[in-house]
Amino acid sequence: MEDATLIFVVVVALGFDFVNGFHDAANSIATVVSTRVLTPRQAVAWAASFNFIAFLVFGTHVATTIAKDVVEQGVLSIGVIFAGLVGAIVWDLITFWFGLPTSSSHALVGGMAGAAVAKGGFDVLVSEGLRKIGLFIILSPLIGLAVGLILTVVISWAFFRVRRLDRLNKGFRRGQLVSAAAFSLGHGANDAQKTMGIILALLIAGGHVADNGEVPLWVVLAAHTAIGLGTLAGGWRIVKTMGSKITRLQPAGGVAAETAAAATLFFTSAAGVPVSTTHTITGAIVGVGAARRLSAVRWGVAGRVVWAWVLTIPGAFLISALTYYAVEAFA
Amino acid sequence: MDRRAAFFALAALICAVLVPLAEEEFRTLTICVGATYLVLALASFFDHRSRPR
């Protein structure tokens, strides 16, 4: 019976990964679609491929952080993880409905924390791990913004003498294929690992993996497949917000934004920090817009996005805590 | 008033607040990000001042 429940929650975790790919596909492909380098259909296929192969490039440090550094291992049970996942998925779907590019990662962290606190009180939170995640909630968009802005300035200086703008744009359109691929690689690495972390925690809680155990290969492959399939399914509402409502992008700006976000994701994935791919690319897009002038950024939309970020952890926390109480009442 | 310089200065200030809260391994990174925003704030301020009105 317990194994059947565990398998069910693993499927829910993979469902979260699918929703994450679906929700965040927009981040990977919004700029490529908005600059008309690829059609939406081609863009999702391109992003999904690089989401999938990310497991060949990066380790599993982020998965370990999610499994061991958010809440104490002793409090983790199948019920806690299930409630945490439900909170994150419900929050993702609510924000998806309103077209807000919020963070699935922070929804997951908030969800896990909410369910664990409902079971064991606030003492079960791992302050060191949450501090690291909290630091990068602020740092990752700031790094993306700064790198995006600096790259835009460098590109402007390097090519300001070029008179044939059509040829230059053609070059950057090709460049965007590479930068979008790099960003999708970073997205696959950081976000798929969060699901791996959840499944690892489940397997540890169920006694199928030792406390200090590594992520099994089938978990790695399943997580990357789920996020790749989710990306293939696509998320068009958010493409619109990311691709054109924050600031209008040219191909050169798209290259700068994606390269900046990819560099941030590569660094954080290697350092084992679970960051929001949404925050990172939003920061980078704002950086590209701010390089022209601050008024090129539509701050009303950017502000709406910031409010959604602020509400994500408490929102998912609350839904998960309520779900945990419901699970306990019915189980 | 150069709003862009003010925005970058605010980002530098946020990083300065985060430095003591950051773990040892990420402290240098936080300082570097803050220093970058400080440079960007100064560059934006002087760029704005040098423009003919």
Of residues A115 and A168, more confidence is placed in A115
Residues in chain B: 53
Alpha-carbon distances, residue A32 vs A47, A71, A149, A235, A306 (angstroms): 10, 38, 18, 14, 23
pLDDT above 80: residue A162: no
Q: Tell me whether residues A138 and B18 touch, CB distance under 8 A.
A: yes
Q: Tell me whether residues B23 and A131 touch, CB distance under 8 A.
A: yes
pLDDT tier, A142 (very low <50, low <70, confident <90, very high otherwise): very high
pLDDT above 60: residue A244: no
pLDDT tier, A101 (very low <50, low <70, confident <90, very high otherwise): low
Question: In this predicted structure, what is the pLDDT of residue A266?
Answer: 92
How much is the mean pLDDT over chain A? 82
Q: Tell me whether residues B23 and A294 touch, CB distance under 8 A.
A: no
- Cα–Cα–Cα angle for A272, A116, A307, rounded to 5 degrees: 70
d(CA A247, CA A196): 34
**Interface membership of A128 toward B (CB under 8 Å):** yes
Q: How many helices (H) and strands (E) does chain A have?
A: 12, 0
Dihedral sign (CA A105, A252, A57, A220): positive
User: Chain A window 244-303: which residues touch B at a Cβ cutoff of 8 Å?
Assistant: 271, 290, 293-294
pTM: 0.84
Q: Tell me whether residues A135 and B22 touch, CB distance under 8 A.
A: yes
User: Chain B window 1-53: which residues touch A at a Cβ cutoff of 8 Å?
Assistant: 3-4, 7, 11, 14-15, 18, 21-23, 25-26, 29-30, 33, 36-37, 40
Question: In this predicted structure, what is the pLDDT of residue A298?
Answer: 63
Residue A267 CB partners (closer than 8 Å, separation 6+): A143
Question: In this predicted structure, what is the pLDDT of residue A239?
Answer: 57
A126, A136, A145, A279: best to mutate for the B interface, most B CBs within 10 A: A145
pLDDT one-digit tens code per residue, A183-238: 888 888 888 888 888 898 888 888 888 877 788 889 988 988 888 888 777 655 55
Q: Hey, what are A220's tokens?
A: 């790695």
The residue type found at A69 is: D
CB A162 within 8 A of CB A23: no
pLDDT tier, A145 (very low <50, low <70, confident <90, very high otherwise): very high
pLDDT one-digit tens code per residue, A270-302: 888 888 888 888 888 888 888 876 655 666 666
Question: In this predicted structure, what is the pLDDT of residue A318?
Answer: 95
Q: Tell me whether residues A138 and B14 touch, CB distance under 8 A.
A: yes
pLDDT tier, A114 (very low <50, low <70, confident <90, very high otherwise): very high
User: Looking up tokens 């006694």, which residue turns up?
Assistant: A207
B3, B31, B32: best to mutate for the A interface, most A CBs within 10 A: B3
Considering only the beta carbons, identify the residue of B22, B25, B33 that sits closest to A143.
B33
Percent of chain A topping pLDDT 70: 88
User: Looking up tokens 């989401």, which residue turns up?
Assistant: A51
Look at residues A33, A55, A54 and name the one whose alpha carbon lies nearest to residue A181. A54
The residue type found at A65 is: T
**Three-class secondary structure assignment of A166-191:** HHHHHHHHHHHHHHHHHHHHHHHHHH
Percent of chain A topping pLDDT 90: 18
Of residues A54 and A162, more confidence is placed in A54
**Interface membership of A149 toward B (CB under 8 Å):** yes
* 3-state helix vs strand vs coil in chain B, percent to 5: 85, 0, 15
pLDDT one-digit tens code per residue, B1-27: 577 888 899 999 999 999 998 888 899
Q: Tell me whether residues A142 and B29 touch, CB distance under 8 A.
A: no
